Structure 1
Amino acid sequence: MNTETGVTAQTRPSATSSEGPDAHSAPPTRGQMWRHLGPGIVVAATGVGAGDLVATLIAGSRFGYALLWAAVVGCIVKIALSEGSARYHLATGSTILAGWRSLGKWTSWYFGVYVIIWGFIYGATAMSATALPLTALFPELPLRAWAIIAGIFGFVFVWFNRYETFEIVMKILVGLMFIIMVGLAFLVAPSLPDMARGMTFELPEGSLFYTLGLIGGVGGTITTAAYGYWTQAKGWRGMPWFPMMRVDNALAYIVTGIFVIAMLIVGAELLYSAGIALEDSDKGLLGLSGVLEERFGATIATLFLVGFAATSLSSLLGVWQGMSLFFSDWWYQLRGASEGGHEGSGAYKFYLAWLTFPPMILLFADRPFLLVIIYGAFGALFMPFLAVTLLMLNNSERVPAHARNGVVANLTLAGSAILFVVLAVQQVARLLS
């Protein structure tokens, strides 16, 4: 059936290349699935950045374990969103952007304007966040220089490597950040009874902002929709890959959940009990490094900075690669071209450059705090759009009946849509105030 672009899902090229590590493999049996894990690890690494570490640490330092349940609920919400996006890719043989275009041309213009502005702001944010631990580890160069180096490294790496190499590097970074951060949580000796009480859905006074932030922000925003593109780049196509995708996606957010809980433990045990306040920005992580050095020594503090660097760099690389694929597909469908929409295409390289070089202008701003607030407000505007459109698409006739949303998926997506609308209003109100 023709879409509004005038191109059928069967005849147009994929948004990624036709090959991939699993392109010529049969879907694995349950016992062999672990060998094929990958896109979920990529989305987990991309979704957890320095901002998430700060949000979780601050929540733990102010409220102890009381908001542990919010971190768990946030991971469940992200499972539903990324699974819904990937399910549309696999069930229709098309992409989520093709689905959006079928809802009306306004969706394409909304995404196009959004992704251009978002990329400009996020590029500077990601480079600065990656530079913070590198500057602390290697103070010979200033933060601005490390930020530029980080951006250029991401640009060169993604430009010259395809998905398979990209996935391997992301797995290494995830392993590094997971071992260090979870090890740190064990080091501070968490209180199991207090953790259990943190699952009682308590909402302490003054905690609403942090609760909504943990549910809506931790684990990724727009990158959750990129999961379907990474499954395609892996070579997963068609309904037989459903079980593999669901296991991969669930594991991704289990890893994310453990990682987030580990940082909440650090905030609760190391900061809350001692009454230590961190700066409510990425620089607060450097404050934690000082606390760790005072209590455990320079080696532990250095390891934390290495984990911090791995966390920030994995987010940078994930966005540079995944959002370039996303933009490439948008440009391809907007133009109705006969080629493009894959790794290495012209649009892919354009957006990769857009994320890297124009945002460097912002690195020279003396007071970038307003930009951070604008980024928060602007970032919150995408998630309601994603949740609502997934409800529309995955309950429609475009998706085979047995692949449509079930009751649980619909309830989760509807609840997510309401939550993200509240978050968007909150962030916009913060910007206007």
Structure 2
Amino acid sequence: MAEIAQEEGAGDIGRATTAPRKSSWRYIGPGIVVAATGVGAGDLVATLIAGSKFGYTLLWAAVIGCVVKISLAEAAGRWHLATGRTLFDGWRSLGAWTTVYFVGYVVVWGFVYGAAAMSSSALPLGALFPDLLDLKVWAVLCGLVGLVFVWFNRYAVFEKVMTVLVGVMFLVTVYLAVRVTPHLGEALAGLVPVLPDGSLVYTLGLIGGVGGTITLAAYGYWVNAKGWRDTGWMKVMRLDNRVAYLTTGIFVVAMLFVGAELLHSSGLALAKGDKGLIDLGGILAERYGDATSKLFLIGFFATSFTSLIGVWHGVSLMFADFVAHYRPALVPEGTPRDRSKPFRAYLLWLTFPPIALLFLDQPFGLVIVYGVIGAFFMPFLALTLVRLLNSSRTPAEWRNGILSNVMLGAAGLLFVVLCVEQVRQLPW
């Protein structure tokens, strides 16, 4: 009955269970959601290109990247469970500047990301059904399907669908990694940290880029939506988080194998951006036949669409929480966040205004603003978590230890470097 009560409360903020829970695989869910949302088509391309350029040499960077993301997501989940407060509530306690930043981020980032997510989901569908619909029509349909799915379903259904899509992603990428026959000896050698000439940017990208941006901040909200709202769920949350990013690690390593064996060994190159994955589909068709190529495109779609619906749900939850702090009348007490007006308003913002960008090819100035704001989010997340989890805002028992501080501090510095590099490369 405890499990039934917990699921019925999913989506409500404030109800809590106090009985300690043992770590158990049957509770796993929010971590799978955050990991699936965070790994998008762009991450696949970055991993494939790193493998194509440097073979297995940067495998160690992909592993470290997963450890970094485990630390960040664990910190976000720990804040929610230890304090009973949301992450936005914590940011707000640091000063009004955090609110200004958050609002600017979700408005501009959401506008441009909506178009990017729809386009990314449309590409594999256009490749699978080349003569059926125009690519822009596929993109609009993906956005509308995501809108309807998130609008009408509660967290429990959302999590189950995400888990199925993650299973598809995982099986396809592992199958491809096995299909290209990796050299395990060379792969093991890639676990030794080495920086070949010209690899710094790719290394930083593998460590910092795979596995999410604002979706890492959404993890605590999904933890609450699952019904985990106090420290009795801490062990469960940590297991959930580790399993999720172990899965992500295998996923990333598998794509690195494909890049190393299929592209690096043959001297082949992919186009930058999501279209590089269509290039890979063509290469797979030539080497292994149409069936393998189509299977890859299905995995590509699952990867892109999980990111779309994950952002549609998770960032909308965060926006609803923001509105609840400043306009409580719009989110009456006891109203599930995923049934509130602000949640649905942000869903509409992610879906309809970005459709215009699909036909305007993303105005130049907006892309620059999006790039700058997006680059600053990960250092913002890492460094504010360091501040929150070392202060009296967090109960002493659940504050950062030495390891957590080292990992979050290192993540913060890493993301500052990536931020500077990303801003430097913008088309000013």
Shared fold by TM > 0.5?
yes
- Following the alignment from structure 1 to structure 2, what is the Cα–Cα distance between the partners of residues 252 and 286? 27
Deviation at 1:18, TM superposition (A): 4.5
> Given the superposition, is the C-alpha separation of residues 190 and 25 from structure 1 closer, same or farther in structure 2, using an over 3 Å criterion?
farther
- Following the alignment from structure 1 to structure 2, what is the Cα–Cα distance between the partners of residues 201 and 208? 12
> Given the superposition, is the C-alpha separation of residues 175 and 133 from structure 1 closer, same or farther in structure 2, using an over 3 Å criterion?
same
Structure 2 partner of 1:306? 298
> Given the superposition, is the C-alpha separation of residues 254 and 365 from structure 1 closer, same or farther in structure 2, using an over 3 Å criterion?
same
| AA matched with 2:392 | E
Structure 1 partner of 2:155? 163
- Following the alignment from structure 1 to structure 2, what is the Cα–Cα distance between the partners of residues 282 and 58? 12
- Following the alignment from structure 2 to structure 1, what is the Cα–Cα distance between the partners of residues 144 and 396? 46
- Following the alignment from structure 2 to structure 1, what is the Cα–Cα distance between the partners of residues 365 and 213? 20
Structure 2 partner of 1:423? 418
Structure 1 partner of 2:192? 200
Question: What is the RMSD of the two structures over their aligned residues, measured on CA atoms?
Answer: 1.9
Percentage of matched positions with identical amino acids: 59
Q: In terms of mean alpha carbon deviation, does 386-395 or 368-377 score higher?
A: 368-377
Structure 1 segment 210-289 matched on structure 2, within 5 A? 210-289=202-281
**Maintained 8 Å contact 1:133/1:308:** yes
| AA matched with 1:222 | I
Matched, 1:363 2:358: yes
Q: TM-score, normalised on structure 2?
A: 0.93
Matched, 1:127 2:118: yes
Match of 2:99 among 78, 103, 108: 108
Match of 1:85 among 76, 80, 85: 76
Q: Secondary structure at the match of 2:141?
A: helix
- Following the alignment from structure 1 to structure 2, what is the Cα–Cα distance between the partners of residues 350 and 15? 21
Structure 2 partner of 1:29? 22
- Following the alignment from structure 1 to structure 2, what is the Cα–Cα distance between the partners of residues 110 and 183? 42
Once the two structures are superposed, residues 196-226 of structure 1 have per-residue CA deviations (whole angstroms, 9 ceiling, x without a partner) of 1111111111111111111111000110010
Unaligned runs of 5+ in 1: 1-13
Structure 1 partner of 2:142? 150
Q: How many residues align?
A: 416
Structure 2 partner of 1:9? none
Deviation at 1:335, TM superposition (A): 2.5
- Following the alignment from structure 2 to structure 1, what is the Cα–Cα distance between the partners of residues 18 and 336? 23
- Following the alignment from structure 1 to structure 2, what is the Cα–Cα distance between the partners of residues 371 and 87? 35
**Maintained 8 Å contact 1:100/1:389:** yes
Deviation at 1:17, TM superposition (A): 1.3
Q: Secondary structure at the match of 2:338?
A: coil
Q: In terms of mean alpha carbon deviation, does 245-254 or 327-336 score higher?
A: 327-336
> Given the superposition, is the C-alpha separation of residues 387 and 372 from structure 1 closer, same or farther in structure 2, using an over 3 Å criterion?
same
**Maintained 8 Å contact 1:90/1:241:** yes
| AA matched with 2:34 | V
Match of 1:71 among 48, 62, 72: 62
- Following the alignment from structure 1 to structure 2, what is the Cα–Cα distance between the partners of residues 88 and 214? 26
Once the two structures are superposed, residues 348-392 of structure 1 have per-residue CA deviations (whole angstroms, 9 ceiling, x without a partner) of 000000000000111012477886665444321101111111011
Structure 2 partner of 1:328? 320
> Given the superposition, is the C-alpha separation of residues 369 and 105 from structure 1 closer, same or farther in structure 2, using an over 3 Å criterion?
closer
| AA matched with 1:202 | V
> Given the superposition, is the C-alpha separation of residues 18 and 370 from structure 1 closer, same or farther in structure 2, using an over 3 Å criterion?
closer
Q: Secondary structure at the match of 1:257?
A: helix
Deviation at 1:34, TM superposition (A): 1.0
**Maintained 8 Å contact 2:66/2:211:** yes
Match of 1:316 among 304, 308, 322: 308
Q: TM-score, normalised on structure 1?
A: 0.92
Unaligned runs of 5+ in 2: 1-8
Once the two structures are superposed, residues 390-431 of structure 1 have per-residue CA deviations (whole angstroms, 9 ceiling, x without a partner) of 011001111111100010000111111111111111111111
Q: Secondary structure at the match of 1:97?
A: helix
Q: Secondary structure at the match of 2:383?
A: helix
> Given the superposition, is the C-alpha separation of residues 120 and 127 from structure 1 closer, same or farther in structure 2, using an over 3 Å criterion?
same
Deviation at 1:306, TM superposition (A): 0.3
Match of 1:410 among 405, 408, 414: 405
